[in-house]
Chains A and B, each alone.
Chain A
Amino acid sequence: MLIRKMLREMLKNPGQFISILILSFLATLIYSGFESNVIGSSKAVEDFHKATNVANAWVYSEAFTKENLKNVKDLDIVDEAQLRTELRGTTVDYDGAQLDIYLMDESSILKPYMYEGEEDLKESNSVKFDAKDKDGVWLSWSFANAWNIKVGDDIELEFNGTKFTRNVRGLIMEPEYEYTIAEKDSDTNFKNIAYVYMGYDAFPVKELPYTTMLVTFTDKALNKAEDKLKEKNSKLSSVMYYENEISDAIDENYAVMIDKESVQGMKRVASELEQHDSFSYTFAMIFLIVAVLVISTSMSRLVERQRTQIGTMNAIGMKRFKITLHYIGYSFFVSFVGAVLGIIIGPIFIGNAMVNMLMSWYMIPNVEAKCNASFYLLTAFVVIVCVLASFLSCRKLLKVPPAAALRPAAPKKAKRIFAEKLPLWNKLDFSSQYNLRDVFRAPMRAVMGIVGTAIGTVLILYAFGCYFLVDDIVVWTFDKLQNYDYQIALSAGESEDFYDDLADELDGELVMIDQVELSKKKHAAATDRFKQTITVIEGKGLKNITDEKANVIDMKEGKIAITSRLAKQMGVEVGDKIAWHIYSKNTWYESEIGLINRTPDTAGITILRKDLKKLGCSYTPTNLVTKKNIMSYKDKEGVSGVYDMAELKKAFIEGYEIIMVLFYVMMIFSIVTVIVVLYNSGNLSFHERFKEFATLKVMGLSSSKIRKILNQENIWFAIIGILVGMPFGKPSLVAMMNSNGDNFDYYIHIPLYLYALSALFVLVVAIMVSLMFARKIKRIDMVGSLKGLE
């Protein structure tokens, strides 16, 4: 019978129940949606690394010897070690895509993962990697998929002008390429970058040095390192803990040793997942706060409104436990349905949508949205909050003697408020005074309305911020940092004069990009060294640098520029000196910081060519940028690829589609939050003051005037919420956008008109919500109020 009562009452007053259901749903939906992607992707990454026996350490040198390898293998701490040669070439067809070549004698570490795929590329014909195969290569699946290259096809490759054709023996995936981007690209385009595994015998150029040593440590050694580091409270990773042992074993014949935290392909994915993790917690928390506020306030009021019914049930002898259980049932039912729907739908729709979106950038096999125990804990938490709110209200009412509970509750005590002491008070109209007192009479409702609107405002600012961020980044990247229309990817092996002649011919600027290790002083401890990028420009105004507000600035001669985030991480500023060396070279250099610059997605240092040469560092340009159309230079000597920046810009914008998705998601969340919160606040206010409104109506106050009273309060909450939310919008958006790894440093500029637009948007939603009460007010039961009954 009581269940029937519950269901009927829910149908009679659906708005409030639905809003609790929606909020419980949203709280678990957002968390499970984002988090299922993080959990699923992390699991897939873990499995991937395990399957490929990912290296613990990458050690780079100008040339390793077999003796170096033997010595490392002999170390107790080392499980396996392997040498390889890393080279840069191009494909002959396929728009001369960048080609990373890995030559090796064996593949026990970073074993190529044979991707099963959809069978379109005859993936099942793939054979295991064989270093002795003289005619075969193992090609990256992502590239093969982008160009429809099948297992068994021949592919023509080029290295320093030498062209050779090999047969594709298998399609592979490799953890170092979980994230990958061609040097010429500003965003991932699998058509522009390929990598191949091959044996030395299959490569046309012989006598090449071993440039990389891959090392895995024993579990025992890694655990021991971890314990030691814990004892010392050191930030060093357990892999880098063994740098000295490796260094000694190879007689310091190395340039740099890194762990997977510094491998861009893996680091980017880890950072992205970390970002999504923080997104899921932040958003879940935001909605949880709103949900808890709304649910607890609504449930308490709902139970309080049933005062006489509770009194009646109590009076006719129903056990208190049963009454309590009945009222707990309301909140349990609604919140449970909402929360469970959220954890079911979240992974299916949001989780899988995010996985699909991520997999358009990242190359990780077998990713799918997954859930874990935290989902059930969150569901339980949401339900417990709801149940607790109704339990506490019910318990309070059950303490009232039945005879008293049968009569309407005495009105809440009113008291003078601070505002009454202000001279302005007497000038306020009736509805303002009335509403001001009401706000102080029901402060939780005010908090709910204000916090909810503030969150709605923050979300809408996120939405607009994201929307205009794309435009800003495009202008920043393609109009400011890159003041050129065409770009040539240069092949290595030509003389400096050759490149200079080419640059003169095209009125172009030569650019060199390489990986560097930086620290405050030479040979600093591993924890104080940073792995980033060096950009060498000529200062001709084609390849530029920008300041912290994204304005183009000139390089200072004799000094370097350092990106702002890196400067902060290193704790350096203008005037300080830093030491650096190119990954593959062992020589350290020292430079003074002349400028702090900012780029959206590359961290590192920039130096003028002449200053680099003054330091004695070898100069090998990687690109030539120009305003002249160089598309016909494709087959010229020393040119490995030609690119039209307009095309790259188009692809770049397409790549930022996710930001637009974020824009729509934020808009929807913002609207839902504002509607749910303000509807609830209005609804509670309406029900709490129902009798008062009825009295006013009986006294002759028109419905429109009563609506104005009710709406005024909600509009106040909206305005205060907007003002409270606004300052949080930009900083939190910047923090979230830039949590995607150390390289990202977006300059997010939200102009004043966007703040005004956001405020207007939230206010319009608030006004629309207020209109929802028009009918309710018109239908106020004046007769009932006369009798003074509930």
Chain B
Amino acid sequence: MTEKKVVEFKDVVKEYGEGDGKQIAVNHVDFSINEGEFVVILGQSGAGKSTVLNMLGGMDSPTSGEIIVDDAEVSKMNDKQLSDYRAKKIGFIFQFYNLIPSLTAYENVALTKSIVKDALDPIEMLERVGLKDHAKKFPSQMSGGEQQRVSIARALAKNPKIILGDEPTGALDSETGVIVLKLLIEMSHKYSNTVIVVTHNADIAKCADKVIRMKNGRIREIKINEAPLSVEEVEW
């Protein structure tokens, strides 16, 4: 983990709708995240955490404010630049894995070769998530946890600066969730990927380097965990 700021949100506002129907999903939000940090954005449903993640992932743009990722201003990018940004800088992990059902685990990971030129070796990535032996299996032949690990391998294969996870353990039982979480922390601490996870599960926050609590579109608290717990130490 370095002190280099990799993500900066500066006075970011996101509004939906117009006139009377206007809703403020994200209200003047400021925060920054350093390279290699494992960050948890915590909040209840409707807190605005997913909107923050979506804007950070280049899937949505702010109404005002600046989002700077790795010295590039994401908030000013056009569609093509955003597509390029998502391809090169961001690795996504979805709640429901979103693997391509007609591709094997290996092919799902190898798919990244069609997206970035310098994608990492798919087998190596599967090995990193402990699924080398499952390379030839289709998603329907794997458990939820295994599918999510393939999804992590796929995100890693692009060698992204930032890994974003929207409730990555939300669809898993606690035992499998632990395995996935361990992997994400390992990516951050061992391989220096910045990992940002959005969740409403406060237990996950105990393992994070930084916890950003949100409520009603605003940041309620930003807490630096001087001594984050290991996944095993947390009582799930």
Contact residues, B42-84 vs A (CB, 8 A) = 50, 54, 57, 59-60, 79-80, 83-84
Type the 1/0 row for A434-465, where 1 means its CB is closer than 8 Å to any CB of B.
Answer: 10011001000000000000000000000000
B57 close to A692 (CB less than 8 A): no
Interface: A433 (CB within 8 A): yes
A413 close to B94 (CB less than 8 A): no
Residues from chain B with a CB closer than 8 A to the CB of A408 are 96
Residues from chain B with a CB closer than 8 A to the CB of A700 are 83-88, 90, 115-116, 158
CA distance A697 to B158 in the complex (A): 14
Q: How many A-B residue pairs have CB under 8 A?
A: 112
A410 in complex: contacting residue of B98, B113, B140, B158, CB < 8 Å: B140
CA distance A661 to B116 in the complex (A): 54
Residues from chain B with a CB closer than 8 A to the CB of A695 are 92, 94, 98-100
B139 close to A414 (CB less than 8 A): yes
Interface: A208 (CB within 8 A): no
A701 close to B115 (CB less than 8 A): yes
B57 close to A698 (CB less than 8 A): yes
Interface: A691 (CB within 8 A): yes
Type the 1/0 row for B134-164, where 1 means its CB is closer than 8 Å to any CB of A.
Answer: 0000111000000000000010001000000
Interface: B2 (CB within 8 A): no
What is the distance, in angstroms, from B43's C-beta to the closest C-beta of chain A? 15
Interface stretch of the complex, out of B30-38, B103-111, B178-186, B212-220: B103-111
CA distance A430 to B115 in the complex (A): 10
Q: Which residue of B lies closest to A693 (CB)?
A: B100
A788 close to B138 (CB less than 8 A): no
B94 close to A788 (CB less than 8 A): yes
Residues from chain B with a CB closer than 8 A to the CB of A433 are 103, 107
B59 close to A430 (CB less than 8 A): no
Interface stretch of the complex, out of A227-235, A352-360, A541-549, A778-786: A778-786
Q: Which residue of B lies closest to A417 (CB)?
A: B102
Q: Which residue of B lies closest to A691 (CB)?
A: B98
B102 in complex: contacting residue of A441, A699, A705, CB < 8 Å: A441
Known: A408-B96, A699-B86, A702-B83. A414 touches B111 (CB 8 A): no
A413 in complex: contacting residue of B138, B166, B171, CB < 8 Å: B138
Type the 1/0 row for A18-52, where 1 means its CB is closer than 8 Å to any CB of B.
Answer: 00000000000000000000000000000000000
Interface: B101 (CB within 8 A): yes
CA distance A698 to B158 in the complex (A): 13
Interface: B95 (CB within 8 A): yes
CA distance A694 to B92 in the complex (A): 12
Q: Which residue of B lies closest to A692 (CB)?
A: B100
Known: A700-B90, A705-B114. A414 touches B101 (CB 8 A): yes
Contact residues, A679-708 vs B (CB, 8 A) = 691-692, 694-703, 705
Residues from chain B with a CB closer than 8 A to the CB of A437 are 102-103
CA distance A703 to B83 in the complex (A): 8
Known: A430-B111, A699-B115, A786-B166. A414 touches B83 (CB 8 A): no
B96 in complex: contacting residue of A702, A778, A783, A788, CB < 8 Å: A788
Q: Which residue of B lies closest to A440 (CB)?
A: B102
What is the distance, in angstroms, from B127's C-beta to the closest C-beta of chain A? 21
Contact residues, A759-789 vs B (CB, 8 A) = 778, 782-783, 785-788
Q: Which residue of A lies closest to B59 (CB)?
A: A782
A701 close to B102 (CB less than 8 A): no
A783 close to B60 (CB less than 8 A): yes
A701 close to B114 (CB less than 8 A): yes
Residues from chain B with a CB closer than 8 A to the CB of A415 are 138
B140 in complex: contacting residue of A411, A694, A782, CB < 8 Å: A411
Residues from chain B with a CB closer than 8 A to the CB of A699 are 86-87, 92, 111-112, 115, 154, 158
CA distance A786 to B100 in the complex (A): 14
CA distance A698 to B99 in the complex (A): 12
A414 close to B140 (CB less than 8 A): yes
B101 close to A429 (CB less than 8 A): no
Residues from chain B with a CB closer than 8 A to the CB of A431 are 114
CA distance A691 to B116 in the complex (A): 21
What is the distance, in angstroms, from B28's C-beta to the closest C-beta of chain A? 21
Known: A700-B158, A701-B114. A786 touches B92 (CB 8 A): yes
Residues from chain A with a CB closer than 8 A to the CB of B154 are 699
What is the distance, in angstroms, from A718's C-beta to the closest C-beta of chain B? 21
Known: A434-B100, A434-B103, A702-B83. A786 touches B59 (CB 8 A): yes
Residues from chain B with a CB closer than 8 A to the CB of A786 are 50, 54, 59, 92, 94-95, 98, 166
Interface: A412 (CB within 8 A): yes
Q: Which residue of B lies closest to A429 (CB)?
A: B114
B86 close to A412 (CB less than 8 A): no
Known: A698-B92, A702-B83, A788-B95. A411 touches B114 (CB 8 A): no
CA distance A412 to B83 in the complex (A): 28
Known: A414-B139, A430-B110, A701-B115. A788 touches B98 (CB 8 A): yes
CA distance A441 to B139 in the complex (A): 14
CA distance A787 to B94 in the complex (A): 7
What is the distance, in angstroms, from B196's C-beta to the closest C-beta of chain A? 13
CA distance A686 to B100 in the complex (A): 14
Type the 1/0 row for A400-441, where 1 means its CB is closer than 8 Å to any CB of B.
Answer: 000000001011111100000000000001110110011001
Residues from chain B with a CB closer than 8 A to the CB of A698 are 57, 59, 86, 92, 94, 98
B80 close to A702 (CB less than 8 A): yes
Residues from chain B with a CB closer than 8 A to the CB of A691 are 98
CA distance A701 to B171 in the complex (A): 25
What is the distance, in angstroms, from A572's C-beta to the closest C-beta of chain B? 60
Q: Which residue of B lies closest to A778 (CB)?
A: B79
CA distance A410 to B142 in the complex (A): 12
Known: A414-B101, A441-B102. A787 touches B95 (CB 8 A): yes
A413 close to B98 (CB less than 8 A): no
Known: A692-B100, A695-B98. A411 touches B139 (CB 8 A): yes
A414 in complex: contacting residue of B86, B90, B102, B112, CB < 8 Å: B102
Residues from chain B with a CB closer than 8 A to the CB of A785 are 94, 98
Known contacts A692-B98, A699-B158, A782-B54; 11 further A-B pairs (Cβ under 8 A) = A413-B138, A414-B138, A433-B107, A695-B100, A698-B57, A700-B158, A701-B87, A702-B87, A778-B79, A786-B166, A787-B95
The 6 lowest CB-CB distance pairs between A and B, nearest first, are A700-B87, A788-B96, A411-B101, A437-B102, A700-B86, A695-B98
Residues of B within 8 A of A (CB): 50, 54, 57, 59-60, 79-80, 83-88, 90, 92, 94-96, 98-103, 107, 110-116, 138-140, 154, 158, 166, 171
27 contacts between A and B (CB under 8 A): A410-B140, A414-B103, A414-B138, A414-B139, A415-B138, A430-B114, A434-B103, A437-B103, A692-B101, A695-B92, A696-B111, A697-B86, A698-B57, A698-B92, A698-B98, A699-B92, A699-B111, A700-B84, A700-B115, A700-B116, A701-B83, A702-B84, A703-B79, A782-B54, A783-B50, A783-B54, A787-B96
